Amino acid sequence: MSDFEPRLEQLDIGLFQPISTQTSRGDKRSLLKLQACARQPGQYRYLEIGSHLGGTLQPHYVDPRCERIFSIDKRPAAQPDERGIIYEYHDNSTERMRANLRTAYPQADHDRLVTFDCDASDVNPTDITPRPEFCFIDGEHTNPAVLSDFAFCRQVCADDAVIAFHDTCFVFEGVRQIQRDLTAEGVRFIGVKLGGSVYAILLGEACDRLLAELKPLVEDEAAYFERAQLELERMHLQNRYPILRMLDYPRKIFRRLRRKVG
Ligand SMILES: C[S@@+](CC[C@H](N)C(=O)[O-])C[C@H]1O[C@@H](n2cnc3c(N)ncnc32)[C@H](O)[C@@H]1O
């Protein structure tokens, strides 16, 4: 892709096409910015937990500076989630993901992609070499899973890596616990809430190198976590009393009408 560099520089979310991904516009911009940061020194390695169809792998798949892509996906038929619902993933396989990437990017170097069909805790850390500078956690959306995935990433990543989370609005308790653990351990880190539902932990020297660069995308973390907590509580109530979901419809229609009349 000849125009890749300027597109990445402009955070062109079209880089997340043609393979579909479960990310918002804000998520995509944040992920592209983190990728731009990871590749600044030159070659970099990317590790992703939860790749599904390959949608969030694709900007790295076409990046000439991305030397290795590690994709870890347990691919269960159904997975638990902090929202209290079991999410089903049909026809979710590594073969399908690889085929998507091969079809979308026939010219890419397919040998850079290393896949693991298991939970990250079952991956042998010595299989993750060279150490990745950018890790993205988007697997099972429960707090215990996020804690376990983060522990794995820390074990295998570079000292000055960035470890990012998706759907932080559901796993913010896990992220808060990680912050407390790192502080108690005396680890040098900075946590930043970026656009969409992306949260990133900058480790070691990445704090100095990247904070200023990420600043335009940084959002108020406390306000976001507070909103997320309220929303999650509302979802739990709706799961318990489904009638509340029906009561939600008039509220949504009312809001839409109000927006239309200005
Ligand atoms: C939300 S999807 C990932 C979407 C993808 N990042 C995208 O937007 O293109 C979650 C993925 O996590 C995987 N998954 C579920 N439990 C997992 C676990 N314990 N470890 C690793 N992956 C897991 C599922 O198989 C699914 O493919």
How remote is the CA of residue 253 from the centroid of ligand 1, in Å?
33
**Is 75 touching ligand 1 by the criterion CB < 6 Å?**
yes
Average pLDDT over residues 175-198: 98
Same domain? For 84 and 168 the reply is: yes
Measure the CA angle with vertex 53, ends 50 and 57; round to 5°: 65
Our count of domains for the chain comes to 2
Q: Check if the beta carbon of residue 32 is closer than 8 Å to that of residue 12.
A: yes
Task: Give the domain range for residue 250.
Answer: 220-262
Closest CA relative to residue 135, chosen from 211, 72, 228: 72
- pLDDT value of residue 241: 81
At residue 134 the predicted structure's pLDDT band, cuts being 50, 70 and 90, is: very high
Average pLDDT over residues 142-157: 98
> b or e along 10-36 (b: 16 or more beta carbons within 10 Å of the residue's beta carbon)?
ebbbebbeebebebbebbbbbbbbbbb
> Percent of the chain at pLDDT above 90?
84
pLDDT tens profile 88-115? 888 999 999 999 999 999 999 999 999 9
Closest CA relative to residue 168, chosen from 239, 88, 224, 87: 224
Mutate to test the pocket of ligand 1, among 73, 149, 152 (most ligand atoms within 8 A of CB): 73
Same domain? For 229 and 202 the reply is: no
Same domain? For 209 and 251 the reply is: no
pLDDT tens profile 13-34? 999 999 999 999 999 999 999 9
Does the pLDDT value for residue 245 go beyond 80?
A: no
- pLDDT value of residue 242: 82
